[in-house]
Structure 1
Amino acid sequence: MPEQNQHNLFEELLNQDESLTEKQKKILESAIEIFAEKGYSATSTNEIAKKAGVAEGTIFRHYKTKKDLLLSIVAPTMAKLVAPFVIKDLNKVLDTKYETYEAFLKALILNRQAFLKENMAAFRILIQEIPFHPELKEQFKEHIANKLFERVQRIIEHYQELGQVISMPSQAVLRFTLSSIFGFLIARHLLLPEADWDNEKEIEYTIHMIMNGVKASSI
């Protein structure tokens, strides 16, 4: 993937924030790149300072701790950029009427895959750090999960009414569906991106396995 496509969300945030000095932008840009590559825990402020071309003390003049630096990147990005971009982009799928749940699943996977390819740095940092930072988890729930899960749940209930999806709590179907999709996307783009993937076939397999788990017995 071309380097210029990896940091879209973060770059837009930095460009929009007129309160940032040039040094702060360099620090944040360097932190984004190293956090995405190595993870928060394995990254030192000294590494960030060297990449940004500033003294390590300069970082601590702007950010009290390394965690403050992480939160200054991720929290506002979640609120200002990730949530609107995720929701707006995903609305292309959620606002479209598909005849079958299977067709909806394929559109959903292709949409999320395209989004991740353009925003891999944001995805890496969020997926690696949200489980370990309660502040980030709350941001994710507030700005993304709560807004999207309810909409997808209503879509599932629509296909249940059509008799295409098994009659069980829609929240259970939602959890199974999303965990299967994101399991595939994480393996494909984060854990094993260098593997010899047949992308079309893998999407087909993922949808087939989901449908085997959730389709109504009468179909």
Structure 2
Amino acid sequence: MRRLTEEVNAVSDIAIDPWLKELLRLNDEEEKMTDKQIKIVQAAVEIFSEKGFAGSSTSEIAQKAGVAEGTIFRHYKTKKELLLSIVAPMMTKLIAPFAVKDFTKVLEADYPTVEQFLRAITVNRLEFARKHFPVIKIFMHEIPFHKELREQFKETVADMVLEKAYKAIRHFQGGGQLIEIPAPTSMRLIVSSIIGLLITRFLLVPESEWDEEKEIDYTINFILHGLAPRKS
């Protein structure tokens, strides 16, 4: 018991990224992570994020964490269990509640114009991605290959958000601000544009000079008008 207390207290001496602090806070409700677990998880996120799950090995995770490979398997039976131990708590306890609660406020707010609605959504998702991108990146890499992650996303996020989004789209269609096409199609086109902005900002050219306000404007104008020149 004394050893575990010492390991937990040692957490304060480790350089911990903000996302991992959130994960540790979530695990406080169940079982505190030891010093070695923290190092393993932080190393795993960095390597999974850089190389993907399939391209990573537990040996390089162990090397980066400064632990023996056997230590990983004392805490996690398989590499996939390690992956799910990172993504699952963040999805169910942090990302999903934040995404649903915070995003629902945006979707249910009364915006006079569709442009204001789209701007609010885009800014909201940019701030969300800025805060949680290391884990989001892993989730984006792995969701096509792991049924558990797809089902978890559908249950915790998609089902709760989509109907509210469709309702907002139908509202603007009814007011003549959006064209009459199926709401799921409108949602797909809007989401693909915003995700493209996020991927470019945080994944493709994260170090480049970036006028965020201007890029938001370009994205919204594209959603509303496409690439065709406006008629005078």
**Fold conserved between structures, TM > 0.5:** yes
Is 2:111 the partner of 1:111? no
2:71 aligned to which of 55, 58, 61: 58
1:207 to 201, 213, 220: 220
Does residue 34 of the first structure (1) align with residue 47 of the second (2)?
Answer: yes
Aligned partner of 1:210: which letter? I
The one-letter code of the counterpart of 2:91 is M
Residue 9 (structure 1) shift: 4.2
Q: Does 1:73 align with 2:86?
A: yes
* Offset from partner CA, 1:88-126 (integer Å, 9 cap, x none): 221331232110111100011011111111112121111
Aligned partners of 2:62 and 2:69 also within 8 Å:
yes
Picking from 131, 145, 150, the partner of 2:144 is 131
2 CA distance for matches of 1:67 and 1:77?
16
The Cα shift of 1:35 comes to 1.9
Distance in 2 between the 1:14 and 1:38 partners? 26
Quick check: 1:12 aligned with 2:25?
yes
- Please point out which of 74, 92, 99 is paired with 1:86: 99
Distance (whole Å) between structure 2 residues aligned to residue 205 and residue 102 of structure 1: 12
Q: 1:13 to 1:32 in 2, by over 3 A?
A: farther
Number of aligned pairs? 212
Q: Name which of 156, 181, 196 aligns with 2:169.
A: 156
Counterpart residue identity of residue 77, structure 2: K
d(CA) in 1 for partners of 2:21, 2:114:
31
Q: C-alpha separation between the residues in 2 aligned to 1:211 and 1:63?
A: 48
| Comparing 41-50 and 6-15, the one that deviates more | 6-15
Asked if the contact 2:103–2:124 (Cα under 8 Å) also holds between the matched residues in 1, the reply is yes
Q: CA deviation at 1:77?
A: 2.2
Task: Give the 3-state SS of the residue equivalent to 2:220 in structure 1.
Answer: helix
Work out which of the residue numbers 27, 42, 48 in structure 1 matches 2:61: 48
Q: 1: CA distance between counterparts of 2:201 and 2:43? A: 26
CA contact (8 A) 1:160 1:166 kept: yes
State the distance in 2 between where 1:8 and 1:142 align: 25
Contact kept? 2:52, 2:138, Cα under 8 Å? yes
Using the alignment, how far apart are the partners of 1:40 and 1:209 within structure 2? 34
User: Does the Cα contact within 8 Å between 1:10 and 1:122 map onto a contact in 2?
Assistant: no
Structure number, greater radius of gyration = 2
Larger RCO, structure (CA 8 Å, separation 6 or more) = 1
When normalised by structure 1's length, the TM-score is 0.87
One-letter identity of the residue aligned with 1:207: I
Give the equivalent residue in structure 1 for 2:36: 23
CA-to-aligned-CA distance 1:45-74 (integer Å, 9 cap, x gap): 112212333210121222222112111211
Where 1:119 maps in the other structure, the secondary structure is: helix
Instruction: Give SS of 1:68's match.
Output: helix
Counterpart amino acid of 2:224? Answer: M
RMSD (Å), alpha carbons: 2.1
Seq. identity, %: 52
For the Cα contact (< 8 Å) 1:10–1:77, is it kept in 2?
Answer: yes
